[in-house]
């Protein structure tokens, strides 16, 4: 559309595309598994039903309001906070790169607009293959455990961020930007999957809401506004140190979330063994 129509290219066209796809999902989207002739979630995941019984909940979930579910199964759930903080720091790094990458390349690296556009293009489009592979890798290579792959990706992002910052070569800057773009969406995707595994199915929506709120209110603000303040006060060094600190914090909360998931896994296994023992005793 040209630079004179940047408002339409940046806002109106993407908004129209998003509305079209939202309408397609609304029309073609399916209902609950039971409505589509599939087993209920309780039948597909009996271990979740068992773990809920072992917690001696005061009320059955169907008798709880949305606010009670949110307070009981999300706000009081340390694992929900860990995974939300993972997302906060992922968004901090992601938005820091998206918001400031063009300005940094133009003003500091002295790239042309065309060169900057190429680097930015690779940053965004490199995410597609990585997100497609992330779920498969976490299932096959890490046996369904999500956070080890997320920690590896964040560690690689840390290295590539330094390379992107220090390199003067157009090719190397583009490669480092592409690798960061390729990897930054993996922890975000895996955090979404982990959320479904650390809270009961009826509380997933509330947990996702907490993640979304914290990601955009805190994560995006840290990566955009605070990054800008750091650059103004300390120069670009301050901005990059901020992102590197965010990566370290993200790895820390990935580790805590991983430990929490392992603890829940042990609880489910113990609960299933206990139920099997009771059934065996009743049979005898």
Residue 233 has a pLDDT of 92
pLDDT band of residue 58 (cuts 50, 70, 90) is very low
**Whole-angstrom distance, CA of residue 65 vs CA of residue 159:** 46
pLDDT band of residue 272 (cuts 50, 70, 90) is confident
What pTM was estimated for this model as a whole? 0.79
**Whole-angstrom distance, CA of residue 68 vs CA of residue 51:** 19
State how far the alpha carbon of 174 is from the alpha carbons of 94, 161, 216, in Å.
Answer: 16, 11, 27
CATH superfamily of 72-283: MFS general substrate transporter like domains (1.20.1250.20)
Give the least confident one: 52-61, 213-222, 255-264. 52-61
State how far the alpha carbon of 40 is from the alpha carbons of 31, 58, 99, 206, in Å.
Answer: 12, 23, 43, 20
Where along the chain do its domains lie?
A: 72-283
Q: What is the mean pLDDT of the chain?
A: 84
**Whole-angstrom distance, CA of residue 152 vs CA of residue 138:** 11
């Amino acid at each position: 559309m040209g630079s004179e129509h940047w408002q339409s290219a940046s806002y109106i066209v993407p908004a129209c595309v998003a509305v079209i796809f939202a309408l397609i999902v609304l029309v073609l989207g399916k209902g609950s598994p039971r409505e589509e002739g599939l087993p209920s979630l309780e039948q597909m995941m009996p271990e979740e039903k068992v773990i809920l019984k072992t917690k001696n909940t005061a009320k059955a979930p169907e008798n709880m309001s949305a606010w009670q579910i949110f307070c009981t199964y999300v706000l009081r759930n340390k694992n929900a906070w860990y995974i939300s903080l993972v997302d906060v720091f992922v968004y901090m790094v992601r938005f820091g790169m998206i918001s400031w990458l063009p300005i940094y390349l133009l003003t500091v690296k002295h790239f042309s607009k065309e060169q900057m556009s190429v680097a930015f293009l690779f940053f965004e489009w490199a995410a597609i293959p990585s997100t497609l592979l992330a779920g498969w890798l976490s299932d096959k290579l890490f046996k369904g455990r999500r956070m080890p792959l997320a920690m590896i990706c964040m560690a690689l992002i840390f290295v590539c961020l330094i390379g992107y910052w220090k390199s003067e070569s157009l090719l190397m800057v583009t490669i480092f930007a592409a690798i960061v773009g390729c990897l930054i969406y993996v922890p975000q995707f895996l955090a979404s999957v982990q959320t479904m595994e650390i809270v009961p199915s009826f509380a997933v929506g509330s947990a996702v809401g907490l993640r979304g709120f914290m990601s955009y209110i805190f994560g995006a603000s840290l990566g955009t506004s605070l990054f800008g303040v750091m650059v103004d006060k300390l120069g670009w060094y301050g901005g990059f140190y901020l992102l590197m600190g965010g990566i370290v914090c993200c790895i820390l909360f990935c580790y805590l979330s991983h430990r929490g998931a392992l603890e829940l896994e042990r609880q489910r296994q113990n609960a299933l063994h206990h139920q099997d023992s009771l059934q065996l005793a009743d049979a005898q």
